Amino acid sequence: MNKKVAVILSGCGVYDGAEIHESVITLLRLDQRGAEVQCFAPDVAQLHVVDHYSGDEMNETRNVLVESARIARGQIKDVRALHAADFDALIMPGGFGVAKNLSDFATNGAGCSVQPDVLAACKAFADAGKPVGMMCIAPALAAKIFGAGVACTIGTDHDTAAALTQMGAEHHECEVSEIIEDRQRKLVTTPAYMLAQSIAEAASGINKMVDRVLELAHH
């Protein structure tokens, strides 16, 4: 029986939203493995908008749900409509949108809070013991979702790892092609573009993470 997987996006574009390569690799792998997927995003304004050509901040506002719909080809729902009971697993791609729109980790670091609708949705999966996959910077939210002692990785960046540790997470260094699994909590994480130098490198770990999340969903 095909598993149903929810994917939470954080906008569209690495600097102010969801990392597009990570999101597409995730959606592709889920489809290849026969999973039924529904994308979600919070209906909130982005922290800011970045010109991905120049890298400069732009004087305009955009909505996280509307921008995420670009990646999902319009097939997306407000994260408030995400009910863990309807799905077997949850996956969250990275990108600065996780740290800027799904939380305020980008500005407040270890003292950050998670956007309430996103936190409620993620906690429901954790409380139900359903597998969760996170990549890139997304594991920065792990301690807020799963509590102190959760094992995860953002790769090898010491400053970010220190912030995660300060928040109560147990950080494990990890190569781009590998995954870290917290067996008790069914959380699977991989560094993706925290370390990847190419789309193929990003895919090497993301595919393993998606495969493991689906395996856990079948157990």
Catalytic center residues: 136
Give the full edge-to-edge strand order of the sheet including 180-182: 76-78, 36-41, 4-8, 89-92, 132-135, 187-190, 180-182
Query: What is the rounded distance in angstroms from the CA atom of residue 191 to the CA atom of residue 10?
Result: 17
Query: What is the rounded distance in angstroms from the CA atom of residue 130 to the CA atom of residue 82?
Result: 14
Phi and psi for 57 in degrees, rounded to 5? -75, 140
Strands 180-182 and 187-190: antiparallel
Q: Take residue 57 and report the two structure tokens written for it.
A: 């901040």
CB 37 within 8 A of CB 29: no
Calculate the alpha carbon distances from 115 to 89, 112, 118, 141, 215 in Å. 20, 10, 5, 10, 29
Angle of helix 199-218 relative to helix 20-32, nearest 10 degrees? 40
Q: Take residue 38 and report the two structure tokens written for it.
A: 């529904």
